[in-house]
């Protein structure tokens, strides 16, 4: 359980703006394998599989 206050959990303004501007899609391919696609003009160039 987190013991941080709500103000400590808030991201800085730059991080908040970036999170709002950059959109991602997530697909679970298998347990522990997630495909992340960034919202771009050509999404295939910005697709990553992470574990």
CA angle centred on 42, ends 38 and 45, rounded to 5°: 70
pLDDT in tens, 18-27: 766 677 888 9
pTM for this predicted structure: 0.47
Domain residue limits, the chain: 21-51
Per-residue pLDDT at 8: 66
Question: pLDDT tens, 1-51?
Answer: 557 676 666 767 777 777 666 778 889 988 889 998 888 788 788 888 888
pLDDT of residue 13: 75
CA 5, 7, 10, 12 torsion-angle sign: negative
| pLDDT for position 28 | 93
């Amino acid at each position: 359980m987190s013991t941080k206050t709500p103000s400590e959990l808030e991201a800085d303004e730059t991080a908040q703006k970036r999170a709002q501007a950059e959109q991602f899609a997530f697909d679970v391919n298998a347990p522990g394998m997630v495909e992340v696609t960034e919202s771009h003009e050509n999404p295939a160039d910005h697709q990553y599989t992470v574990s």
